[in-house]
Amino acid sequence: MSRAIFAALACFALLAACGGGGEAQPTPESAKAFVESASAELEELYMDAERASWLQATYIVYDSQVLSSKLLEKAYSRHTALAKEAVKFDGLELPEDVARQLKILKLSVPMPTPADPALSKELADIVTGMEAAYGKGEYCPDSGKNKGKCLADTDMIRILAESRDPDEMLDVWQGWRRVSPPFRNDYNRFVELSNQGARELGFKDTGALWRSGYDMPPDEFAAELDRLWEQVKPLYVSLHAYVRTQLRKKYGDSVVPADGPIPAHLLGNMWSQSWENVYPLVAPANADPGYDLTKILEKRKVDARGMVRYGEAFFTSLGFKPLPDTFWERSLFTRPRDRDVVCHASAWDIDGLDDLRLKMCIEANAEDFTTIHHELGHNFYQRAYKEQPWLFKGSANDGFHEAVGDTIALSITPEYLVRLGFLDKPTDPSKDVGLLMQRALEKVAFLPFGLLIDQWRWKVFSGEISPEQLNAAWWELREKYQGIAAPIARSEADFDPGAKYHVPANVPYTRYFLAHILQFQFHRGLAQAAGCDKPLHRCSIYESEAAGQKLNAMLEMGQSRPWPEALEAIDGRREMDATAILDYFAPLQSWLDEQNQGQPTGW
C-alpha cells in the first residue's frame, strides 16, 4: 500500500485527522506540538499501567488482574489511536528528532489494539489472563518421585537442572506443559485481535509491525537475522554434536540417537534453551574450571539482597551511581509465602526517572548471579536515558537493552572472582576449555532458540501457520534450528509454545537473539577500551572507568539515534557482527573439532 493511499484511508477512518472538517493542514510546527502532547499523555498513562502491572505481577488476585487489564487496555488503546493519528504527518519535511519520534510512536505500539473499544478490552483481558494463568501454573504428580507434592515452576526448573533420572525429568517436563493448553484458544483469539490492530496501523500483521522497528525494512531485517545465524551456526552444530555424544554415553542408545535430534528433557532446562546444567555430564576431561560459583555463594551464605548488591557493585565500579534507595525498598527479591507472584525475572522502570525495580525470586546460585547482572543492565540503561524525551526512553534497538547486562556478565571471569574475594587466585589458563564449555552451554546453545520463538510467531501472525498447526509447526522449527525433539508424542491438544513465558505475555523474543550477538560485540569493544591484553574470554572490565565511559555514552543515547550509531559509539563499527562470538570461543571450537572426529554432526 502506498503512503498516499494509506494516509487517505487513515484520514477516512479518523475523519478530521488529516485536516478535514475545518482543521488546518498539518505543518512541522503542529507535528512538533503533537509529539509533545502525545508523549506527555502516554507517559502518564503508562506510569499508571506500570504500577498496576507491578501489582498484578506481585499480587496475583482477581482485583489486581482487573485493575491491570483496565489500565493496560487504556494505555494500549490510546497509544494505538495516537499512532494512527500520527499518520497525518507522513510526507512532511520535519526536523530529524520530530520525524524519529513520530516513527517510534507508530512502531512502538506494544500490542496493537483494534479501534473498537469492546475488542480492545477483550484483547487486554486475554493477555492479562494468559499471563496470570502462567504465573499460577503448577503440577501435582500422582505418581513417581514427586507424588503427593504440588510443584511450582521454580520447583520443576530445579528438578530438570539437577536430576539425572530420565523418568523424573520426563514427568516434570510433561507436567509443566499442562499449564498452557487451557489458554490455547485464547491465544488464537489474541492473534486475531492483535492482527486487526496492526492492520489498522497500516501493517500486514503483528509480525510485520515487530520487524519494522529496527531502522531497516522488515524483509532486510529478516535477512540480517539469517546472516548472523549463518555466522554462528557451525559453532552451534559442533557443540550440539559433542553434547549429543556425551548424553548418549550417559543415557544409552535407546534414549539418545546417534545422529538425530536430542530429546528436549535431557538438557537441564525446562525449554532446552540453555544447557549449562548438563555441564557435569559433558565436561572436558581434566578441565575442571577450579571453582563452583553456586557452592561459593552457598558457603558464603549470600542472601538474595546480597546477590543484588554484587550486581550493583559491578556497575558502580565502572563509574555509575548506585541504585536509589527506593529500588531496595520496592523491589521483589524472594518468592512470598502468602501469595502468588510471577517469578520470571524482570527489570522495571515505573516513572521513567528513578523508580527502578527488580522482580525476581532469587536463589543463591550461579545462574541467578548472572541473571541479576542482566536485569540490572536494564535498570542502569533505563536511568542513563532518563533525560531523553519520553519517546526516546528506550534502547537503540530492543536487542541492545538485553545485551547490556549480559555484557557485564561476560566479565564474571576468574580474575573478577578473585577481586571479590571468592577465589584466592585466578584459575589455571590451561583449564579454560572447561570455562568456555560452560559459557557455550549457556550462550551458544541459546542462539537458535532465541531465533525460532519469533520465527514461529511471525508465521502464526501471518497465517502461514494455521490455528490447527500451532504445536506441529513449533516442533518442526525446534528441530530445524535447535536439533531438539519432543521426548514423547505431542499433538494439537497440546500448546507447548505457551509453556514459555514470553508467548502468553506477548513479549517479542528476537531481542534475545540479537542480545546474544551484541553482548560479545560490546564485550570486545569494551575490553579494548579497558586495555585488556588477555584472550577475549579472560577479559573483565570490572573497575575500568574508561570502559564505563564508553558504555555510558551509548546508554545515554537511548533511542534517539539509529542503532548503527549507538553500536559505533561502543564498538567503532555500524554493523552487527557475530565474529566476536567466534573470537571468544575459538579455543573451544578447536577442541570440539578434535572431539567430534569420527562422530556424526547435524541432525
Q: Which residues pair with 6 in a beta bridge?
A: none
User: What pLDDT does 145 receive?
Assistant: 86
At residue 408, does pLDDT exceed 70? Answer: yes
In this predicted model, what pLDDT tens digit does every residue of 542-599 receive, in sequence order? 999 999 999 999 999 999 999 999 999 998 899 999 999 999 999 999 999 999 999 9
SS3 149: coil
What pLDDT shows up at residue 8? 33
Chain-centroid distance, C-alpha 455: 15
Q: State yes or no: is 479 an active-site residue.
A: no
Say how far apart CA 211 and CA 219 lie, in whole Å: 8
In the predicted structure, residue 246 carries a pLDDT above the cut 90:
yes
Catalytic choice (131, 168, 312, 375):
375
- pLDDT tens, 285-337? 877 777 889 999 999 999 999 999 999 999 999 999 999 999 999 999 999 98
- Grid cell 506500570 is found at 50
Structure confidence at residue 427 (pLDDT) = 86
Mean pLDDT for the stretch of residues 530-551? 95
23 confidence band (pLDDT: 50, 70, 90)? low
Helix (H) or strand (E) holding 495: none
Asked whether residue 247 carries a pLDDT value surpassing 60, the answer given is: yes
pLDDT, average across residues 87-95 = 92
As beta bridge partners, residue 356 has 349
**Contact (Cβ atoms closer than 8 angstroms) between residue 358 and residue 320:** no
pLDDT band at 115 (very low <50, low <70, confident <90, very high): confident
What 3-state class would DSSP assign to 327? helix
pTM score of the predicted model: 0.83
Q: Which of 502, 543, 545, 565 is an active site residue?
A: 502
Residue 343 DSSP class = -
d(CA 336, CA 388): 36
Q: Which residues of 268-296 are buried (b: 16+ CB within 10 A; e: fewer)?
A: bbbbbbbbbbbbebbbbeebebeeebeeb
Q: Is 492 a catalytic residue?
A: no
| Predicted pLDDT of residue 1 | 35
Residue 7: its pLDDT value, please?
Answer: 35
pLDDT bracket for residue 4 (50, 70, 90):
very low
Q: What is the DSSP string of 10-49?
A: HHHHHGGGGS-TTPPPP-HHHHHHHHHHHHHHHHHHHHHH
The set of cell numbers assigned to 246 is: 556425551
| Contact indicator for 603, 483 with CB cutoff of 8 Å | yes
DSSP for 262-316, please give it: EEGGGSSSTTSS--GGGHHHHPPTT---S--HHHHHHHTT--HHHHHHHHHHHHH
Helix axes 62-85, 184-200, angle to 10 degrees: 20
Taking the C-alpha atoms of residue 281 and residue 285, their distance in angstroms, rounded to an integer, is: 11
How far, in Å, CA of 79 to CA of 113, rounded? 9
Please name every residue paired with 348 in a beta bridge, in sequence order, or none if there are none. Answer: 357
* Three-state DSSP state, 444: coil
Do residues 56 and 64 make contact, with C-beta atoms less than 8 angstroms apart? yes
**C-alpha cell of residue 6:** 494509506
| Mean pLDDT of all residues belonging to the chain | 91
DSSP letters spanning 189-253: HHHHHHHHHHHHTT-SSHHHHHHTSSSS-HHHHHHHHHHHHHHHHHHHHHHHHHHHHHHHHHH-T
The answer for 222, left when phi > 0, alpha when psi is -120 to 50, beta otherwise, is: alpha
Give the 3-state secondary structure of 499-552: HCCCCCCCCCCHHHHHHHHHHHHHHHHHHHHCCCCCCHHHCCCCCCHHHHHHHH
Classify burial at 367, counting beta carbons within 10 Å of its beta carbon; exposed 0-12, middle 13-18, buried 19 or more.
middle
Residues paired with 139 in a beta bridge: 151
| Spatial CB neighbours of 423, under 8 Å, sequence gap ≥ 6 | 290, 291, 296, 414, 417
Phi-psi region of 215 (alpha: psi -120 to 50; beta: other; left: phi over 0): left
For residue 286, what are the contacts with CB-CB under 8 A and spacing of at least 6?
431
Cβ proximity of 405 and 377 under 8 Å = yes
Which parts of 59-114 fold into alpha helices (H)? Answer: 62-85, 96-107
Res 428 pLDDT > 70: yes
Average pLDDT over residues 425-440: 89
Cell numbers 550440539: residue = 240
Asked if the model's pLDDT at residue 430 lies above 60, the reply is yes
Q: Which residue, chain included where needed, has cell 527489570?
A: 347
Phi-psi region for residue 143, left (φ > 0), alpha (ψ -120 to 50) or beta? beta
Distance CA 272, CA 289 (A): 23
Of the pLDDT bands very low, low, confident and very high (cuts 50, 70, 90), residue 48 is very high
For residues 330 and 357, the answer to whether their CB atoms sit within 8 Å is yes
Q: Which residue has the higher pLDDT, 492 or 430?
A: 492
Phi, psi angles (nearest 5°) of residue 347: -105, 140
Only one residue has cell 477483550, namely: 122
